[in-house]
Amino acid sequence: MRLVGKHFGREGARVRKTFVTRALLFAAAVVLPAGVFLSGSSIVTASAKDVEAKEAGTVVGSPRRLRLLTTQQYINTVQYYFGPDIKIDVKFAPLERTDGLLIAGASVAGVSGAQIETYQKVASIVSAQVLSPDRRATLLPCKPKSDKAADDACAEKFLGEVSNYLYRAPLSKAHLAKFVAESNKAATQLNDFYAGLQLALEGVLLSPNVLFVAEREEPDPHHPGQMRLDAHSLASRLSLFLWNAAPDAVLRQAAARGQLDTEKGRAKIVDMMLASPRLETGVRSLFDDMFGFEDFVTLAKDGVIYPYYLGEASGDAREQTLRTVVDQLLTKDRDYRDLYTTRETFVSPALAIIYGVTTPPGWHAIEFPPEAHRAGILTQVSFLALHSHPTRSSATLRGKALRELILCQKVPPPPANVDFSAVNDPKSNFRTARDRLTAHRANPVCAGCHKITDPMGLALENFDGAGQYRTDEKGTAIDATGSLDGKDFSDVDGLSRAVHDNPALPGCLVRRAYSYATGGAVSLNAEPALVELNKNFAAQNYRLRGLLKAIALNDAFSTVSKPVPKPEPKKTASVPLLQVVAENPK
Amino acid sequence: MKIKPSTMTSRIALAGLALAVVGGSAAIGADDTMPPGRSIAYAANDIKLSVYQTKDAKDECPHGVNTLGPREQFKLLYPQDAGQKWKFVDTQMGREAEIWWPTLDKAEEFPFIEAEGKTAIGLDLDGKTKPSDFTSPEGKSGVDNQLYRVVGCIMNYRDGASIINSERAFLLGYHFNRLLIELTDVDSLVNDDDVTITTYRGLDALLRDAQGDFQAGGTERIDMRWGGKDFVHTGKGMIVNGVLKSEPMDILVPQQVAFSSAAASTLRGARFDLKLTPAKAEGLIGGYADIESFYRRFNRAWGTHFMSYGQQVPPMVYRALHHLADGYPDPETGDNTAISSSYSVKLVQVRILHAGKEVAETDSQRDARQLAESGTSSPSDAK
């Protein structure tokens, strides 16, 4: 906002205010029904027709979504088009983690007035950079007849191309004409073609058509009586899924030509997308979301207890695991389950002091030797530090994270009146976490949940709250024995193998990837698709590319069905805390 | 080595290494006192001339500290309000020229105050107790530190002063001044009668934690650029009750201060006296400072205005250095060319990455690689 005001002066500010106010009103007008739609979509029940269709074995798809672009999707979209040097330092309002994913929360998000103000500010900053004197020649497809006057043709060419991209669908002529008219009007008043274009671009960026992904449906000719996403909505869903950004020109052209409507054409496009360098961006985003890495932003460690957890450690820990994911699953095309046993990873100088290794500046590959006990991403700083307290490790938090994030199981929350004194008292006589938790479990109210989380969390006790390896706690040797779903082990290496072999592990990724792909919580009627995808994943020896392709080509990905909500849990006098609610036991 | 290495003991040590804990940044090997790979390295994070100081400098500077620095002397020599016109070449340029080409036979125009007293920080470098020697604050006699007499009453070298504080700050901000000390053939960090000491100039920044303290375990590459090999020196020493004591060895001490000015000075017959822990080392480096390199090191690194902040007049210092020099006589003239001195140093444990090994590796991987590269079967054979 400051950039524009400074550049245009008082008259520019007045012109801009008028135009942007209109854009805001437009946005508000669209947002309101969006909220109604979203609320409705979350409470709608399965129609008898849906149930019958499922029983009859016909295609049951995913709900049509209206969702907000995430911060990273917005940034990727802008930078892929205008260039990575466009600086966007913004964090939109946080999303609510829904069904295990933040991105699923984008489909149940509302927009407040304060958020619109943030969107407006970012739009202003982006448009000012795009139309800055040093970028005009590169980013504009035409040159105006005069820098100081409106130019209808050049404005229409620029705004047409940009709007088609940012709207993720062709813009109607009438709609484009409005933007061009506003651009010309401002250019005339300000005697500056680029200033007019800048205001128009700001308006485009602020459009609800840009900020919201509103999927549209059409009758599915291959499945009479059923609906499917229209081609541009399908292109957007594919692009946000695999690239975490708006579809590029090739994908939009494929949609316009009907290529996505045929099985062969869609497969060709998906193969192209899977071969693109942008796939890494999409995969990083999927796993960053699945692993709950947004919590790194607020992660704090006590500098006295963990002096080796330097300021760079959190960011580097997050990056290390994402690099490992990309290296193992994309570059080396390894079995997804091996991610939990691999000793291959990358280290930075800040992580090197935690891992006890020598490394040059920058990122470098390393394969830990077996005696290092660093097998799999559960033994990386990202998991160990993120699921610990600021001053101590936590077998419970680690076990809970393993259950919920990695195996898609649910651990009931602690009762409100839980007594934490045994675990929180720093002056207690308990020397190890195992001692403290054993005492804590003596309380039957606590025992239920902790039996779910602690046996595998205690196997990670050889790592302190910052992720550094240790053999003892307060001079007492650490007992790292444990069990996971019936498999006993004596140390963290055993835990890694048990996680690798756990049947819920691949199913959880399938579930998360499907939810991520379809942009919302998994509905009950998605079960047939998940079963099919799980079988496919196993048949492909758990290769990520294969899973992504299978999801992208699955009929459920493009077929529109109303969601079936989860049944409300029956209220009983006492909830069995021992129960682990497996969302996807298959 | 605590026990002279044999193939058998080396194999035992190697077996210990295989079981060693890899996680700790300052991990100690299987016998709890042997460092991984039988080696450990440190990087200096604080290095300053050892200057014993009493309250208000009453003991060591009973006549006060030097108060007439370059600015004060200039003002007295060339008063601007006396109606006399001065030539640039005779005044400012003349004074600057004198800094770079000092003479020994010039009579001092102003008094230069040397440190007195019987106490100084330092080491007994020659094994003798002479009348000019000091006694350490802990009561050890025979301390050789004549450089202390030169700088002890110059504010630049006293606590809270300009140059000392600045050197510390630049030690953090620049990399060209990174003094590395690597100990190899270490069987025990507590007691070992034969260890090898090698010095290098390091290349990388030191890591600091949230408290501002230096963090052990960082990686340092060896800087072989721009005369880096001149900083590589090897000597022998022993560890007694956790204190490293070395035999005399010549070393080159790097320096880099304001505006990236880089310099170095030779310390001849240097001895290390450092209390070692797995995470840090602290103590003294004594030796005979080569006068010419020591003097030019400061002139190259510091401008006159820095000298002025602490009332340090370089030509007077030069003459005092020669006047008090007590080692390494010139074979032709018999004049001493070096002066006994002491640095008080603090070092933090680092992992040295030797040239050409730009890989990330654990200690056990490093050991295995070094063995493979040497084509031998044990660490002792590899030496």
Residue B371 has pLDDT above 50, yes or no: yes
Mean pLDDT value of segment B207-214: 84
Chain B residue set in contact with A, beta carbons under 8 Å:
18-25, 27, 204, 207-211, 213, 215-219, 221, 351-353, 358-366
Mean pLDDT value of segment B171-190: 90
Structure confidence at residue B28 as a pLDDT band (50, 70, 90): very low
Predicted pLDDT at B377: 56
Residue B12 has pLDDT above 70, yes or no: no
Mean pLDDT value of segment B199-225: 90
Nearest CA-CA distance, residue B235 and chain A, Å: 24
Chain B residue with minimum CA distance to A468:
B23
Nearest CB to A349: which of B19, B209, B219? Answer: B219
Residue A222 has pLDDT above 80, yes or no: yes
Residue of A87, A79, A89, A193 whose CA lies nearest to A145: A193
Per residue in A25-49, pLDDT (tens digit) is 444 434 333 332 332 233 233 344 4
B362–A369 C-beta distance less than 8 A: yes
Chain A residue with minimum CA distance to B358:
A360
Q: What angle do CA A488, A339, A460 make, to 5 degrees?
A: 40
Substitution target in A301, A355, A358 with the highest count of B β-carbons within 10 Å is A358
Measured in whole angstroms, the distance separating CA B360 from the mean position of its chain's CA atoms is: 29
Nearest CA-CA distance, residue B378 and chain A, Å: 19
What is the pLDDT of chain B when averaged over all its residues?
87
Residue A507 has pLDDT above 70, yes or no: yes
Chain A residue with minimum CA distance to B357:
A360
Residue A574 has pLDDT above 70, yes or no: no
Contacts of B353 in chain A (CB under 8 A): 358-360
Report the distance separating Cα A163 and Cα A305, nearest Å: 53
Nearest CB to B21: which of A359, A374, A471? Answer: A471
A310–B210 C-beta distance less than 8 A: yes
Residue A230 has pLDDT above 90, yes or no: yes
Structure confidence at residue B376 as a pLDDT band (50, 70, 90): low
Q: What backbone torsions phi and psi does residue B163 show, to the nearest 5 degrees?
A: -70, -45
Substitution target in A314, A323, A348, A353 with the highest count of B β-carbons within 10 Å is A353
Predicted pLDDT at B9: 36
Predicted pLDDT at B128: 95
B204–A361 C-beta distance less than 8 A: yes
Residue B14 has pLDDT above 90, yes or no: no
Q: Is A390 within 8 Å of A300 (Cβ atoms)?
A: yes
Contacts of B364 in chain A (CB under 8 A): 369, 371-372
Per residue in A542-560, pLDDT (tens digit) is 999 999 999 999 999 999 9
Nearest CB to B207: which of A353, A374, A470? Answer: A353
A357–B360 C-beta distance less than 8 A: yes
A468–B25 C-beta distance less than 8 A: yes
Per residue in A384-439, pLDDT (tens digit) is 999 999 999 999 999 999 999 999 998 888 777 777 776 677 677 777 777 776 77
Predicted pLDDT at A107: 87
B353–A359 C-beta distance less than 8 A: yes
A347–B211 C-beta distance less than 8 A: no
**How many interface pairs between A and B have CB atoms less than 8 angstroms apart?**
118
3-state secondary structure of A353: helix
**Torsion angle, alpha carbons of A447, A451, A453, A458, to 10:** 100
Report the distance separating Cα B181 and Cα B195, nearest Å: 12
B25–A354 C-beta distance less than 8 A: yes
Of B102-111, B252-261, B287-296, the poorest mean pLDDT is in B252-261
Residue A583 has pLDDT above 60, yes or no: no
Nearest CB to A371: which of B18, B358, B360? Answer: B18
Substitution target in A310, A314, A347, A357 with the highest count of B β-carbons within 10 Å is A357
B24–A359 C-beta distance less than 8 A: no
Greater confidence (A113 vs B334) lies with B334
Predicted pLDDT at B375: 73
Report the distance separating Cα A96 and Cα A94, nearest Å: 7
Nearest CB to B365: which of A308, A369, A373? Answer: A369
Contacts of A346 in chain B (CB under 8 A): 360
Chain B residue with minimum CA distance to A348:
B360
Per residue in A351-362, pLDDT (tens digit) is 999 999 999 999
Predicted pLDDT at A570: 57
Predicted pLDDT at A565: 61
Nearest CB to A310: which of B20, B207, B351? Answer: B207
Mean pLDDT value of segment A484-501: 94
Most confident of A132-141, B172-181, B360-369: A132-141
Nearest CA-CA distance, residue A467 and chain B, Å: 9
Contacts of A360 in chain B (CB under 8 A): 219, 221, 353, 358-360
Predicted pLDDT at B378: 53
Nearest CB to A303: which of B211, B218, B359? Answer: B211
Nearest CB to A360: which of B19, B27, B221? Answer: B221
Q: What angle do CA A393, A399, A403 make, to 5 degrees?
A: 150
Greater confidence (B315 vs A475) lies with B315
DSSP symbols for A300-315: ---TTT-TTS-TTHHH
Chain A residue set in contact with B, beta carbons under 8 Å:
303-304, 307-311, 346-347, 349-350, 352-361, 364-366, 368-369, 371-374, 463, 468-471
Predicted pLDDT at A577: 35
B217–A352 C-beta distance less than 8 A: yes
3-state secondary structure of B362: strand
Nearest CA-CA distance, residue B224 and chain A, Å: 15
Nearest CB to B209: which of A307, A356, A365? Answer: A307
A354–B207 C-beta distance less than 8 A: no
Report the distance separating Cα A294 and Cα A191, nearest Å: 45
Q: What backbone torsions phi and psi does residue A8 show, to the nearest 5 degrees?
A: -90, -20
Q: What angle do CA A401, A403, A405 make, to 5 degrees?
A: 55
What is the pLDDT of chain A when averaged over all its residues?
86
Contacts of A463 in chain B (CB under 8 A): 23
Mean pLDDT value of segment A481-506: 94
Report the distance separating Cα A581 and Cα A575, nearest Å: 12
Predicted pLDDT at A109: 74
Structure confidence at residue A20 as a pLDDT band (50, 70, 90): low
Predicted pLDDT at A432: 76
Per residue in B315-325, pLDDT (tens digit) is 999 999 999 99
Predicted pLDDT at A395: 92
Strands (E), A126-239: 212-214, 217-219, 227-229
ipTM (interface predicted TM): 0.79
Predicted pLDDT at A252: 96
Tokens of B153: 């009453």
Predicted pLDDT at A563: 64
Q: Is A18 within 8 Å of A196 (Cβ atoms)?
A: no
A349–B360 C-beta distance less than 8 A: no
Per residue in A72-109, pLDDT (tens digit) is 999 999 999 999 999 999 999 889 999 899 999 898 87
